[in-house]
Amino acid sequence: MEKIIITIGRQLGSGGKKIAEKIGERMHLPIYDKKLLEAAAIESGLDASVFAGADERESDSFLGGLFSIHGSLSNFLSGGGSCMESDQLFQIQSEAIRNIAQRESCIIIGRCAEYVLRDQPRMISIFITANSDDRIRRIARKERATEEQARELMERGDKKRRSYHDYYAATHWGEAASYDLCINSSLLGIDGTADYICNFIRARFEL
């Protein structure tokens, strides 16, 4: 089979990661989420915790995209500074994404992957959403939070992901025009949504 790349963006609480895992199982594709951060750290020589701190965080335009990193990174900075441009971390992470896509078929979750790999001829970009009530229930169950707390987490999570994505990409997070397929997981459930996406991928690439 020729190489294929699947990128998945998702709203917090939409079940996107679980859906990605089911697609990976059914289509025998590796998934890069936290693994991607580890790969970026290995290839750059930095500690994985450095990238975890910048993982889809809300960009701060007032600070010009700068954020403080302490500890293991301090040895890599010249002049004894304690800040590193998030842009530089994004570039390192993006290079890791391109390297992974170059060597194997895979599923990549988040990290603006659909934008980073926009020139890949055999890439499908997918965005997964869900009804607010379903998202709140899922977040509350996972975080052992009240409905009110879950709603706040949902809204804050969406804001951070949108800010992170739109800061680095020329497309807009969650907008249909930015993806090949947008789907509401509330309509078909986790398994049904995974099945639908698998069928879409097979039809698109004539597998």
The whole-angstrom separation of Cα 197 and Cα 99 is 25
Distances (CA, A) of 18 to 28, 58, 193: 15, 23, 10
Q: Is the pLDDT of residue 25 over 90?
A: yes
Query: What's the structural domain count of the chain?
Result: 1
Q: What confidence tier does 78 reach under pLDDT thresholds 50, 70, 90? A: very low
| Average pLDDT of the segment spanning 175-183 | 96
* Helices and strands (H and E) in the chain: how many: 8, 7
99-124, pLDDT tens digit by residue? Answer: 999 999 999 999 999 999 999 999 99
Q: Which residue has the higher pLDDT, 64 or 199?
A: 199
The pTM for the full model equals 0.82
Provide the CATH number for the domain around residue 57: 3.40.50.300
26-49, pLDDT tens digit by residue? Answer: 999 999 987 776 777 777 777 666
Helix (H) or strand (E) holding 53: none
Q: How many other β-carbons are positioned within 10 Å of the β-carbon of residue 149?
A: 14
